[in-house]
Amino acid sequence: AQTVTQSQPEMSVQEAETVTLSCTYDTSENNYYLFWYKQPPSRQMILVIRQEAYKQQNATENRFSVNFQKAAKSFSLKISDSQLGDTAMYFCAFIPMNRDDKIIFGKGTRLHILP
Amino acid sequence: NAGVTQTPKFRILKIGQSMTLQCAQDMNHNYMYWYRQDPGMGLKLIYYSVGAGITDKGEVPNGYNVSRSTTEDFPLRLELAAPSQTSVYFCASKSGRSNYEQYFGPGTRLTVT
């Protein structure tokens, strides 16, 4: 069975600090996508960053970057210079390439950015 | 572009009642999805559709029905509401099979008492 595990239910950091959210996954697929979604209190699901498994280079989007370790099946999210607006639930998600149905979400990490 | 819209935003149902959650998208996306999010959990797929007239079950379809008569609309029907269906429901869409990004609606919070 394919699973996504986020081992940190909740985290708090001071504004401007760097924080890393962990995610591990289990799959027998070789080609897939990995995502981090942000869900602020408004409940809207917002795509933060994505990684294609066939790419060795880690994805970066402004202050957000990932550390993708395919052999270890690890996909952590680093938020640099954290801001109050980063306060949200963060979900790690996985989907095999060219599959219509099988997007798997982790249980989420609730991140608090403290002023 | 309104993107993906969902109505209502909130609803309280009594056990045994029925209701339809509405979802619409104006991006001409072929693929549409319904998820539920239980407290402290990630999203689980209820049903999905790859185009008008085609629907398929996801991970947790029991107690729900869907239809897809047009590209734009993908309503989710609860026939006999049960407390276990208390959840937040999200609709999402994407343009095609090789397009990875799903666009989410704002969600519907449903309480069954």
Nearest CA in chain A to B108: A43
Each residue's pLDDT tens digit, A61-104:
999 999 999 999 999 999 999 999 999 999 999 988 877 766 88
User: Residue B91 — pLDDT band, cuts 50, 70, 90?
Assistant: very high
Contacts with A71 (C-beta within 8 Å, 6 or more apart), sequence order: none
- Asked if residue A26 has pLDDT above 70, the reply is yes
User: Tell me, what DSSP letter sits at residue B26?
Assistant: S
Kindly give, in sequence order, each residue whose CB lies less than 8 Å from that of residue B67, ignoring residues fewer than 6 positions away. B55, B74, B75, B77
Mean pLDDT calculated for residue range B86-110: 89
| Percentage, residues of chain B above pLDDT 70 | 97
> pLDDT confidence of B78, banded at 50, 70, 90?
very high
A-B C-beta contacts closer than 8 Å: 53
Mean pLDDT of A17-25: 97
Tell me: pLDDT of B22 over 70: yes
The tokens for A113 are 């950015």
What pLDDT shows up at residue B83? 96
pLDDT exceeds cutoff 70 at B106: yes
A115 shares contact with chain B (CB less than 8 Å): no
Q: Which residues contact A1 (CB under 8 A, 6 or more apart)?
A: A26
**Mean predicted lDDT score pLDDT of chain B:** 93
Q: What is the pLDDT of residue A97?
A: 82
- Compare CB distances from B97 to A9, A100, A107 and report the shortest one's residue: A100
Query: For residue A95, which of A27, A33, A40 has the smallest C-alpha distance?
Result: A33
**DSSP 3-state of B101:** coil
Closest Cβ–Cβ partner in A33, A44, A98 for B104: A44
Confidence of residue B31 (pLDDT cuts 50, 70, 90): very high
Measured CB to CB, residues of chain B less than 8 Å from chain A are 31, 33, 40-45, 48, 50, 56, 58, 88, 90, 92, 97-98, 100-102, 104, 106-107, 109
Q: How far apart are CA A100 and CA B100, in angstroms?
A: 10
Q: What's the rounded Cα separation, in Å, for the pair B6 and A106?
A: 24
What's the pLDDT at A96? 86
Instruction: Give the residue-averaged pLDDT of A46-56.
Output: 92
Torsion region of B78: left, alpha or beta (phi above 0 gives left; psi -120 to 50 gives alpha):
beta
Read off φ and ψ for residue B81, nearest 5 degrees.
Answer: -65, 140
Q: What pLDDT shows up at residue B88?
A: 95
Query: Parallel, antiparallel, or unpaired for β B87-94 and B108-112?
Result: antiparallel
Token pair listed for A36: 């981090």
- Give A83→chain B minimum CA distance, Å: 23
Q: What is the structure's pLDDT at B40?
A: 79
Task: Give the pLDDT band (50/70/90) at residue A23.
Answer: very high
Q: Find which of B43, B44, B97 to mutate to test the A interface (most A CBs within 10 Å of its CB).
A: B43
A50 with B101: Cβ contact below 8 A = yes
Q: Taking CB atoms and an 8 Å cutoff, what residues of chain B touch A110? A: none
- pLDDT at position B75 is 98
CA distance B31 to B51: 6
Per-residue confidence band for B98, with pLDDT thresholds at 50, 70 and 90: low
CB atoms within 10 A of CB A41: 8
